[in-house]
Structure 1
Amino acid sequence: MKRIWIVCFLAAGILYACSKSNKGGGGGTTTPTGGDEELANIGNNIILPAYASLNVSVNSLDSAIVDFNAGPTADKLTAVQNLFKAAYVRWEAVSAYDYFGPAASNQPVLAGLNLFPTNTVTIEANVGSGNNNVNAFANASAKGFPALDYLLFGAGGNTLAGFASANRKAYLAAVSADIKAEVNAAAKGWSASGGNYIATFLAGTGNSVSSSLGLLINSIVQDFEITKNDRLGIPLGKQPPGQSLPVLPKELEAYYSGISAQLCLAQIKAVQNLYQGIGTAGDGKGLADYVVKANAKYGSGLLNDTLTAKFTSAVNGMSAISDPMSASIQSNSAPANAVYVTTQQLVVLLKTDMASSLGVLITFGDNDGD
């Protein structure tokens, strides 16, 4: 997640920006009914387990980094790198909820943990000066998972010699500790034994701007636009719209560790599962159930059929792209371009057709023309 509008969101510490009208769809607007069933499955079997899994993962990563710094060995470094990759993949399962609830109300906001590409110049300057204040505004792009990606896999980070500097180890620890603290706070905020936002989520039925459905749809659309624009569009030279630029592999998420395709696939699958209602309890109720009950149409068919087919196409297309994606898009960008086109279509379907059919107002601002 990146670019100026995300940084402004972080600086202001607010959830949504300017309102904009929501047009389109084929089935009119229908106030969702029976929302407690859908919200119960989404909240209890999808969102809570995703936060719990990420929480365990970042705690394990931080413990491994503390142990590594205390006595660096090649085996410990490999263990840290593997735990980092596992945590980054689990991050993708919660990134769709970055823009409401504890992830947005806590400070710093959780979205700040994945501003990519990371600013390597700032990181190196911080390491050189011993500045470990990762939450200073100037360090917005020098923290979180992208910073660890660089520290552990770039600039000699894949060798013990890269961590001969006490300052580098200290910055590694500071970035990791911040990730742990922010994820722990968000997970605790959601949990019934913590801030109990899950109760607020389950009670927020209806389709108003402040309802759980309204907040959820705005959040997942915002996150999916980041997949379209930042995980795919910019590295492929497709942004701004209408431009034909060279591929920019260093703009990819997780460029240094080389798991960009894996992460993009994980994000698309996470939104697909949310739409279908697939969680720890199996195939339950999700956003698709709202769409089906609204009898939402798309062209001469059903909106749910179109969305289901597009998600399947995006997942299959992304699954066929090999990591490191930086090499894949340079040798043959056609498969990734095809996925990009599908994500463009999915953004419109989710943001315009689905939201309209459910009477949900899209309230976050963007200017990319979809």
Structure 2
Amino acid sequence: MKKTVLFALLLLLTTVGIFSCQKSTGSDAPAPADTSLDRKALLTQWADSLVKPGYQRFNDKLSALKTKTTAFTAAPTTASLLDARQAWQAAYLEWQKVELFEFGPAESVSLRNHFNIYPADVTGINRNITTGTYDFEVATAIPQQGFPTLDYLLNGLATSDAAIVQQYVASANHRRYLTDVVAKMDQTFGTVYGQWIGSYRDTFINNAGTDASSSLSRVINAYSLYFERYLRAGKVGIPAGTMSGTPRPEKIEAYYLKGALPLQLATTAHTTVQQFFNGRTGRPSLKSYLDALGAKDSRTGQGLASIINTQFGVSAQQLSSLGPDLYTTITARNADAVTSYNEMQKAVRLIKVDMTSALGITVTYVDNDGD
């Protein structure tokens, strides 16, 4: 009996030993995934299919804006004002598709600070116009430039288009300031775009690690920060008063034009965030990367990419329900705007906690909006 038991134990140990050797060294064992190669493919997809073509489309819209504002300042009329305003709206919408790329060259020049910090500092803008002296690089000038300032200059200087035109006819300083704001935008963006179509593209895709200085870490942090602070809070939460307790509809984007544009900007930004996550079918993306990792939602155990997409769908639907006029909605039924903020907040947890953990990325920014 003892011999039988000893033989069985010996056979079991031998079998386990053979299995262990096969698992670690056998030719039939699956090769470990080359995550470095996967990351490089993902970075290449972002660079060549999202960032560079996105920047090219925005550059076209920015060039058109420069052309139309130049024509307006050269000959201020109601027709040339409407042309400039239309070009501003088109460029502003296109900006929503590239604003989240605040990494690499954009981060180096603080592109967002030059383009879209709102509400505009109207007192500072008017002081700049009056004195004719200003420096767009100093910190206090951040809300005195970019799209929000153009909103004021093209839509908020007076209560009618005729009166706005007359202001430009009468004031060389107004014409100069409008020209300088657009020129600064063109110059700053030109620096960023020039680096992407130059050597930075290769630098970006070859920096394929996961440490804090890697391209993946910088992209994921920029992505999470954009959704949390500039979309969820900036476009909806702050105007709805979720942090202060008091609705502040005057803090919406495109405040001076109002109408449909503020919500169009927000929904375009939200769509961009979701499209960046999903990418193109059959191409590397955050979704495909998470699926390949088998990432799960920490609360439900379900596939993380699927859960994120479901929540994106819910938050997109709630955001769209705030139309057609975001200013009126926040004024008349602010609870709906708060609900929109709350639905986006659910996605923040999935992105900032679960997704970064699955990707092995450390969150390097701090959000201090009190939520």
Is the aligned partner of 1:184 residue 2:186? no
Distance in 2 of aligned mates of 1:256 and 1:369: 28
Distance in 1 of aligned mates of 2:173 and 2:135: 13
Pick from 189, 207, 216: which aligns with 2:210?
207
Q: Which residue of 1 aligns with 2:87?
A: 83
After superposition, residues 20-59 of structure 1 pair within 5 angstroms as 34-59=38-63
The residue identity in structure 2 corresponding to 1:345 is: K
Report the alpha carbon displacement of residue 33 of structure 1 after superposing the two structures with TM.
5.5
Could you say what secondary structure the match of 1:96 adopts?
coil
Could you say what secondary structure the match of 2:100 adopts?
helix
For 1:167-197, what per-residue CA distance to the aligned partner results, in whole angstroms no more than 9, with x for missing partners?
Answer: 1111111111111111111111111xx3x21
Q: Which residue of 1 aligns with 2:201?
A: 198
**Equivalent residues of 2:295, 2:303 under 8 A apart:** yes
Instruction: Mark the CA change 1:324 to 1:295 in structure 2 (over 3 Å): closer, same or farther.
Output: same
Report the alpha carbon displacement of residue 318 of structure 1 after superposing the two structures with TM.
2.1
Is the aligned partner of 1:293 residue 2:297? no
Report the alpha carbon displacement of residue 198 of structure 1 after superposing the two structures with TM.
1.3
Could you say what secondary structure the match of 1:34 adopts?
helix
- In structure 1, the gaps of 5 or more residues are 1-29
Could you say what secondary structure the match of 2:144 adopts?
coil
Distance in 1 of aligned mates of 2:356 and 2:96: 23
Report the alpha carbon displacement of residue 129 of structure 1 after superposing the two structures with TM.
1.5
For 1:262-291, what per-residue CA distance to the aligned partner results, in whole angstroms no more than 9, with x for missing partners?
Answer: 11111111111110014xxx6632111111
Distance in 2 of aligned mates of 1:290 and 1:369: 32
Report the alpha carbon displacement of residue 63 of structure 1 after superposing the two structures with TM.
1.3
Could you say what secondary structure the match of 1:135 adopts?
coil
For 1:313-332, what per-residue CA distance to the aligned partner results, in whole angstroms no more than 9, with x for missing partners?
Answer: 22222223224311121122
For 1:133-174, what per-residue CA distance to the aligned partner results, in whole angstroms no more than 9, with x for missing partners?
Answer: 333333221111111011111121743123232111111111
Q: Which residue of 1 aligns with 2:30?
A: none
Report the alpha carbon displacement of residue 232 of structure 1 after superposing the two structures with TM.
1.0
Report the alpha carbon displacement of residue 61 of structure 1 after superposing the two structures with TM.
0.4
**Equivalent residues of 2:113, 2:142 under 8 A apart:** no
**Equivalent residues of 1:31, 1:359 under 8 A apart:** no
Q: Which runs of 4+ in 1 moved over 6 A?
A: none
Report the alpha carbon displacement of residue 32 of structure 1 after superposing the two structures with TM.
6.5
Q: Which residue of 2 aligns with 1:21?
A: none
Report the alpha carbon displacement of residue 369 of structure 1 after superposing the two structures with TM.
5.2
Is the aligned partner of 1:62 residue 2:63? no
Higher relative contact order, chain-length normalized (CA < 8 Å, sep 6+)? 1
Distance in 1 of aligned mates of 2:234 and 2:92: 16
Distance in 2 of aligned mates of 1:152 and 1:42: 35
Distance in 1 of aligned mates of 2:249 and 2:370: 23
The residue identity in structure 1 corresponding to 2:82 is: T
Distance in 2 of aligned mates of 1:338 and 1:95: 24
Distance in 1 of aligned mates of 2:287 and 2:36: 12
Report the alpha carbon displacement of residue 222 of structure 1 after superposing the two structures with TM.
1.1
The residue identity in structure 2 corresponding to 1:189 is: Q
Moved more, 350-359 or 134-143: 134-143
Q: Which residue of 2 aligns with 1:151?
A: 153
Distance in 2 of aligned mates of 1:367 and 1:132: 30
- TM-score w.r.t. length of structure 1: 0.84
Report the alpha carbon displacement of residue 354 of structure 1 after superposing the two structures with TM.
0.2
* Largest Rg, 1 or 2: 2
Q: Which residue of 2 aligns with 1:256?
A: 256
Report the alpha carbon displacement of residue 219 of structure 1 after superposing the two structures with TM.
0.5
Moved more, 312-321 or 45-54: 312-321
**Equivalent residues of 1:132, 1:174 under 8 A apart:** no
Report the alpha carbon displacement of residue 105 of structure 1 after superposing the two structures with TM.
1.7
Instruction: Mark the CA change 1:283 to 1:342 in structure 2 (over 3 Å): closer, same or farther.
Output: farther
Distance in 2 of aligned mates of 1:246 and 1:356: 35
Q: Which residue of 2 aligns with 1:162?
A: 167
The residue identity in structure 1 corresponding to 2:45 is: N
Report the alpha carbon displacement of residue 364 of structure 1 after superposing the two structures with TM.
1.4
For 1:92-113, what per-residue CA distance to the aligned partner results, in whole angstroms no more than 9, with x for missing partners?
Answer: 1111111x2111223x644332
Q: Which residue of 2 aligns with 1:8?
A: none
For 1:299-323, what per-residue CA distance to the aligned partner results, in whole angstroms no more than 9, with x for missing partners?
Answer: 1311111101111122222223224
**Equivalent residues of 2:111, 2:189 under 8 A apart:** no
Instruction: Mark the CA change 1:200 to 1:162 in structure 2 (over 3 Å): closer, same or farther.
Output: same
Is the aligned partner of 1:230 residue 2:234? yes
Distance in 2 of aligned mates of 1:324 and 1:166: 34
Is the aligned partner of 1:350 residue 2:356? no
Moved more, 312-321 or 71-80: 312-321
Could you say what secondary structure the match of 1:238 adopts?
coil
Distance in 2 of aligned mates of 1:303 and 1:32: 21
Q: Number of paired residues?
A: 329
Q: Which residue of 1 aligns with 2:279?
A: 277
Instruction: Mark the CA change 1:227 to 1:295 in structure 2 (over 3 Å): closer, same or farther.
Output: same
Report the alpha carbon displacement of residue 256 of structure 1 after superposing the two structures with TM.
1.1
Q: Which residue of 2 aligns with 1:16?
A: none
Moved more, 288-297 or 196-205: 196-205
Identity in percent? 29
**Equivalent residues of 2:114, 2:185 under 8 A apart:** no
Distance in 2 of aligned mates of 1:169 and 1:136: 22
Could you say what secondary structure the match of 2:369 adopts?
coil
